[in-house]
């Protein structure tokens, strides 16, 4: 879901992507093989591998911004592919993404994890993302 577009940067909420396969499908939906995505990943770790994301991240992702319990393991599995930053919360993720983004980039929340470490549901996580985007752009 497109939340906002500002200065040529799109902010997209895919908080429903609570597993690696869903995030992989989201990344595959972006046709261009140029590093224009800033991907917000993380949450409650479900114990699976994040390595299936590697080929798409290598081709399409400019930066990973990680949050939640899974951040350390995601960083370890995906290091060296692109810039990786960690954030304490979703508003901090959005502020970091905004500072890294240039016209033509897409900031994508597609966490590949459940939300239960920081939120009651993926819906609450999505709402928090939307509020954080609107606050960062105002």
Angle at 131 between CA 84 and CA 81, to 5 degrees: 15
What whole-number distance in Å separates Cα of residue 62 and Cα of residue 37? 6
The pLDDT of residue 31: 80
Alpha-carbon distances of 46 from 13, 23, 86, rounded to whole Å: 20, 14, 19
pLDDT at 107: 98
Q: Given this model, what pLDDT does residue 117 score?
A: 81
Which pLDDT does position 33 carry in this prediction? 73
Q: What is the CATH number of the domain that holds 97?
A: 3.90.190.20
Which domain range does residue 69 map to?
Answer: 2-137
Instruction: Give the count of beta carbons closer than 10 Å to the beta carbon of residue 45.
Output: 18
Look at the chain and report how many structural domains it folds into.
1
How confident is the prediction along the chain (138 residues), in pLDDT tens digits per residue?
A: 999 999 999 999 999 999 999 999 999 999 877 889 999 999 999 899 999 999 999 999 999 999 999 999 999 999 999 999 999 999 999 999 999 999 999 999 999 999 888 888 999 999 999 999 999 999
């Amino acid at each position: 879901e497109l939340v906002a577009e500002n200065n040529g940067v799109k902010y997209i909420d895919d908080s429903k992507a609570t597993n690696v396969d869903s995030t992989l499908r989201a990344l595959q939906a972006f046709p261009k093989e140029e590093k224009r995505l800033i991907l917000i990943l993380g949450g409650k770790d479900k114990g699976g591998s994040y390595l299936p994301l590697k080929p798409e991240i290598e081709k399409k992702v400019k930066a990973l911004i990680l949050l939640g319990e899974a951040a350390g393991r995601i960083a370890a599995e995906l290091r060296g592919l692109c810039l990786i930053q960690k954030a304490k919360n979703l508003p901090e993720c959005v502020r970091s993404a905004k500072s890294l983004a240039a016209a033509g980039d897409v900031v994508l929340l597609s966490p590949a994890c459940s939300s239960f470490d920081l939120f009651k549901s993926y819906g609450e996580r999505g709402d928090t993302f939307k509020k954080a985007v609107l606050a960062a752009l105002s």
